[in-house]
A and B are shown apart, each in its own frame.
Chain A
Amino acid sequence: MSRIDTVNAVPAQGLNLVQASDVTAGELTLRADAVVIGSGAGGAVAAYELARKGLDVLILEAGPYIPSSEFSEDFSDSLERLYQDHGGQTNKDGDLLLLQGRCVGGSTVVNACLAFRTPDFILEEWGEKFGLTNLSPEAMQPWFERVEKHLSIDANGEHEIAMHSQLVRAGARKLGWSVKPLKRNIRECALTGHCVSGCKTDRKQSMLVTYLPWAMAHGARLHSDTRVTRILESGGRAVGVKAEVVGHDGIKVADMHVDAGIVVLAAGAVQSPLLLLNSGLANGSGQVGKNFACHPSMYVAAKYPHEVFPWRGALLGVYVDEFLTPEKGGFILEAGGLGAVEMCLVNEPGTGKPFLQFMEEARFNSGIVTLIHDHNVGEIRWEKGRKVVDYKVADSDFPSMLAALKASAEIHFAAGAEKVFVPSIEKLEIHSVDEIDAVLARLENKPQRLRLVSYHPQGTLRMGADPASSVVAPHGETHDVKGLYVTDASLLPTSIIVNPQVTVYALASYISSEILKRTPS
């Protein structure tokens, strides 16, 4: 193994990386101790943890490098430039929008900064059902503490709880439900409300301004616009990758071959299984791409008798955890804002004048984001050369969706809302608590009924002790291919209900320590 002991200064702004526009040769051959596929939550953390211990690390990111100074705070424009498939990635039925970052820093650049530890009961379930006793709450605590410290994770202060969140908090308290300030990875939030378009002033502690520049200070190299097409294996061991460097015009500028004894796969829970399927590796269990879950979310808007301005202030302020455990429903509710462009798509107020009135009154709206503990019923696969996200809300999960909708409506009315808009394709409004059950009874678990969005794909390379039923071993290495590790949300054997970024950071930190234990010095 190479040893890199020099620590460089972290630049004040930006990253000194290699982009497609910098590449002049048609063939590139590179060597590294570890090649990391993806620069998001799992990849950046692994890169830093390995580089700081002296390994020569190469990070390959399929997406472009967009420095934060170029973020536009325009959601439509941001979807085009920062998101997978320009924001158009959907499930097979087209009724669930699956939003993932596709840029240097990955989804951490465009998430809403929400920082939850994995719930204890989830970690305990993983131990019982999947043999992951090494991930007990006690064992994971130091890893959570480590990333929380690195990323300035703290609970929202009162000034970070905007009007929309104050209303939700008041409603939940009136109902006697547990409601708490959200924790976020942010420094000195400027309260612009544009988190999901990227933080233009670098207050969000995304990988773009933390682990990536830190890894590079320790000698890691980063290539953007570089899509890994195959993981290479020899004699049961990972030996490197093949990749393509593609310019922003879509034209390939170079082929790349990387020799590396350690391959860290962190391309995200959609792309990682697709790459393994392409490579024909690590699928002795037949589980690669299976067990997909995604926390299908809805935005439950309500109109209040006074101005709320849902686009002003911190994007998300508080959350209701009254129903967190499966016995109580298995969902959480997050109070959140929304911009005008997004507002025109979240529900169906009716055609013509009713729609325009809804938009004229958009500043009177507040909203709640629902997250449910969905079952791992989906699959990611290739069909005729195109990726397929085969996911429908399971019938067994539909009651949780309805319960989350009902609780959201109750909170809105308790907070003084005049009416609640059901996030459905057809026009459905609720005008009082007494109407909730009757209106929601009209919903069916069928395609194109509800307006669903997910930011949290997970589970497609699940971790477990049994090689017959899981892809990745408890220490993060694939059962079938030595030296091939996974550090992204593909690992999660069940959905975790809460936003997963901290879970991924902590797992990537832990797995990096396991890689180092197994790496000759």
Chain B
Amino acid sequence: MTTKTTKQQADAALAPLAGLSRRKLLKAALWASAGTAAVVAGGFAWLRRSPLDDVAVPEGLKHLSASEYHLFHRAIEVLLPTDGTTLTPVEQIPVITNIDRFIGLVEPAIREELGIALALFDNAAVFSGLHGKRFVDLDDESARQYFDTWSAGNTLQRTLSSVVKKFVYLSYWRDPATWPPVQFDGAVSDRWGIPSLGNTPLPDESAEVTA
């Protein structure tokens, strides 16, 4: 099922980024998450290679870069492990397509910051927690821990983990196909045949007190 992805959803997902200027992001990328010592030592491989870098992305995506696609693809696997649950299987919902549409609705200035933020989230795993790998290459347990650690981390970490989660969650749950398993009713007025009361008649003005 394909559902409309709205600019609202993109804005809502990106809300936490509103407080992070490009300067702050870059500064944070260098000093807060990657690790000062690594930078000083000159040994920081900012964009550590991943085997996924050579994996092609699906056709039809218009706005996600290849590395962003791989990041979200991995995040979906980690955040929505629907196997063994009563929920609608994640592969039946066009989550990555919805995310791609979100990205396309983001204003250019914010889009640039978002790109930096996503790259930071991916690459910081090399040092954060001493994983030695980018986020996309972490095993399931490490990837889950990465999210949980960052959600309790510094302001930047909380912001980025929150942004990635919101993109993924909204892109799954806004699809009505996800609602029946949780017994969410969705729209009901038409289904229940509730009539409109229309406009309310004019009040009886002759009897009213005015100052």
Interface size range of chain A in the complex: 35 or more
Q: In the assembled complex, which residues on chain A have CB atoms less than 8 Å from the CB atom of B11?
A: 85-88
Q: In the assembled complex, which residues on chain B have CB atoms less than 8 Å from the CB atom of A446?
A: 155
With A94-B20, A309-B183, A311-B184 already in contact, the answer to whether A213 and B7 are too (CB < 8 A) is: no
Q: Please, which residue of chain A has its CB at the minimum distance from the CB of B162?
A: A425
Answer whether residue B62 sits at the interface, using C-beta atoms and an 8 A cutoff. Answer: no
- In the assembled complex, the CB of B39 is this many whole angstroms from the nearest CB of chain A, namely 24
With A94-B17, A213-B199 already in contact, the answer to whether A363 and B183 are too (CB < 8 A) is: yes
Q: Is the CB of B159 within 8 A of A341?
A: no
With A94-B16, A340-B182, A448-B158 already in contact, the answer to whether A203 and B197 are too (CB < 8 A) is: yes
- In the assembled complex, the CB of B201 is this many whole angstroms from the nearest CB of chain A, namely 6
Q: Which of A9-17, A33-41, A275-283, A370-378 contacts B (4 or more CB under 8 A)?
A: A9-17
Report how many residues on chain B are interfacial, defined by Cβ distance under 8 Å. 68
User: Chain A at the B interface: mostly helix, strand, loop or mixed?
Assistant: loop
Docked pose: A73 CA to B189 CA in angstroms: 8
Q: Is the CB of A88 within 8 A of B189?
A: no
Q: Please, which residue of chain B has its CB at the minimum distance from the CB of A356?
A: B85
With A86-B6, A446-B155, A448-B162 already in contact, the answer to whether A360 and B181 are too (CB < 8 A) is: yes
Docked pose: A351 CA to B152 CA in angstroms: 12
- In the assembled complex, the CB of B208 is this many whole angstroms from the nearest CB of chain A, namely 7
Docked pose: A341 CA to B166 CA in angstroms: 11
Q: Which of B41-49, B121-129, B167-175 contacts A (4 or more CB under 8 A)?
A: B167-175
Q: In the assembled complex, which residues on chain B have CB atoms less than 8 Å from the CB atom of A340?
A: 173, 178-179, 182, 184
| Contact with A510, one of B152, B194, B211 (Cβ below 8 angstroms) | B211
With A142-B211, A360-B85 already in contact, the answer to whether A79 and B12 are too (CB < 8 A) is: yes
Question: In chain B, residues 138-164, which have Cβ atoms closer than 8 Å to a Cβ of chain A?
Answer: 140, 144, 147-148, 151-152, 155, 158-159, 161-162
Binding site for B on A (CB under 8 A): 7, 10-14, 52, 68-69, 72-74, 76-77, 79-80, 83, 85-88, 90-95, 97, 142-143, 146, 149-150, 152, 187-188, 190, 192, 194, 200-203, 205, 209-210, 213-214, 217, 309, 311-312, 339-341, 344-345, 348, 350-353, 355-357, 359-360, 362-363, 425-427, 446-449, 510, 513
Binding site for A on B (CB under 8 A): 4, 6-12, 14-20, 78-82, 85-87, 140, 144, 147-148, 151-152, 155, 158-159, 161-162, 165-166, 169-170, 173-174, 178-179, 181-190, 192, 194-203, 205, 208-211
Closest 3 CB pairs of A and B: A88-B11, A94-B18, A73-B187
